[in-house]
């Protein structure tokens, strides 16, 4: 059955046939606190799916969201500490985030900005957007601007083109990167108008696609990714390691191979952030490191993302993948291969 409207409530999910009434009855407090939105495209994908399937876990509310752990926080990666003007996060010297809007096509149940996005969240008005662009224009150390939010591809093509063109006109901006769930959640939005809005004359536009499970790489999604790649836009992916969704080496292998085949380079595999009510999704760091280590022998370097942790408190991302090297320059090193074999690597100048 084809749906034609986004479900934005528990009643809407029940009416669409993707959430059982008895489950919905227990989720009122979840719906009161966190935004719900599931696009018609995703409703079709979820039609008849197991309510605990990897797709359903990502998009349908659950009672686990009511459990908030002591370590969880409303701003888990510390955006506010690095926000000099509204809508801008300047954590790293050479790049900034530009959060132009709060809306997303779908509200993922593990979102690290779940306290900030959705109906009633902050969006930049014309004056605030102008001030944000002025900040970037006045800081010539900014080489890369990352449009995020919210999902920047939810902007109208006209507004998106205005922002991209304004950034492209700044001589010091070399890269405009957009973080988006749209190709996976609402592929029909990627049309000729949107592609035209992403055309630049000087900077490079990159798209980071959020995709977590191989089942998301449908024929429609792969077609849209092909259009984007065919338009000359380099594509990378960001995935989140999620318990019950992709915390399995074979699933990650299929995901990253599928992305590479669709001309998307796996870029980051994020450890789950400490967002409220997301503890049921988070793996342990040791679990994540083990999974990433298993990937080393299963897939080529093209399919290997960097496993990263966004350090709580605003201290930035750090690679947290497994170690393959031990020892030091004085005594020599031991290197572990993908089979687990260990091999000596000598200190400099000791071989004749």
Q: In what helix (H) or strand (E) does residue 309 lie, and over which residues does it extend?
A: strand 306-310
Active site residue 227: no
Active site residue 91: yes
Of these residues, 57, 113, 189, 257, which one is catalytic? 113
Of these residues, 34, 59, 111, 211, which one is catalytic? 111
Cβ(228)–Cβ(194) under 8 Å?
A: no
Of these residues, 92, 137, 199, 243, which one is catalytic? 92
Active site residue 243: no
Measure the CA–CA gap between 110 and 113, rounded to whole angstroms.
Answer: 9
Measure the CA–CA gap between 122 and 329, rounded to whole angstroms.
Answer: 52
End-to-end CA distance of the chain: 73
Of these residues, 3, 41, 104, 135, which one is catalytic? 104
Active site residue 95: yes
Active site residue 92: yes
Of these residues, 273, 282, 303, 307, which one is catalytic? 273
Active site residue 211: no
C-alpha closest to that of 165 among 207, 127, 137? 137
Measure the CA–CA gap between 127 and 56, rounded to whole angstroms.
Answer: 39
Of these residues, 34, 108, 168, 303, which one is catalytic? 108
Of these residues, 75, 151, 168, 310, which one is catalytic? 310
Of these residues, 3, 95, 189, 222, which one is catalytic? 95
How far from chain centre, in Å, is Cα 318? Answer: 16
Of these residues, 3, 57, 91, 99, which one is catalytic? 91
C-alpha closest to that of 57 among 309, 218, 217, 246? 246
Category of 81 on φ-ψ map: left (φ > 0), alpha (ψ -120 to 50) or beta: alpha
Active site residue 202: no
Residues recognised as catalytic: 91-92, 95, 104, 108, 111, 113, 273, 310, 317
């Amino acid at each position: 059955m084809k749906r034609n409207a986004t479900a934005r409530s528990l009643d809407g999910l029940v009416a669409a046939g993707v959430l059982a009434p008895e489950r919905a009855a227990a989720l009122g407090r979840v719906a009161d606190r966190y935004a719900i939105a599931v696009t018609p495209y995703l409703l079709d994908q979820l039609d008849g799916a197991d309510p605990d399937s990897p797709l359903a876990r990502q998009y349908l509310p659950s009672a686990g969201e009511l459990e908030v752990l002591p370590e969880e926080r409303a701003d888990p990666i510390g955006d506010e500490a690095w926000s000099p003007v509204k809508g801008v996060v300047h954590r790293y010297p050479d790049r900034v985030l530009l959060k132009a809007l709060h809306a997303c096509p779908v509200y993922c149940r593990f979102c690290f900005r779940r306290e900030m996005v959705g109906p009633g969240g902050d969006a930049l008005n014309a004056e605030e957007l102008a001030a944000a662009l002025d900040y970037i224009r006045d800081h010539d150390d900014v080489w890369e601007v990352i449009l995020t939010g919210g999902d920047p591809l939810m902007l109208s093509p006209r507004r998106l083109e205005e922002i991209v063109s304004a950034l492209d006109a700044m001589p010091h901006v070399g890269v405009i990167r957009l973080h988006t769930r749209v190709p996976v959640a609402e592929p029909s939005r990627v049309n000729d108008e949107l592609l035209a809005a992403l055309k630049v004359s000087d900077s490079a536009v990159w798209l980071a696609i959020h995709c977590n499970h191989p089942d998301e790489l449908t024929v429609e999604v792969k077609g849209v990714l092909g259009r984007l790649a065919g338009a000359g836009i380099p594509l990378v992916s960001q995935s989140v390691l999620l318990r019950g969704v992709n915390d399995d080496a074979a699933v990650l292998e299929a995901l990253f191979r599928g992305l590479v085949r669709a001309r998307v380079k796996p870029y980051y595999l994020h450890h789950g952030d400490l967002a409220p009510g997301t503890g049921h999704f988070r793996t342990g760091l040791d679990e994540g490191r083990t999974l990433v280590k298993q990937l080393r022998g299963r897939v080529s370097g093209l399919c290997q993302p960097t496993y990263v942790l966004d350090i709580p408190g605003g201290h930035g991302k750090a690679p947290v993948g497994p170690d393959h090297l031990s020892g030091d320059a004085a005594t020599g090193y031991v290197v572990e291969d993908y089979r687990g074999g260990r091999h000596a690597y000598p200190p400099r100048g000791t071989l004749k």
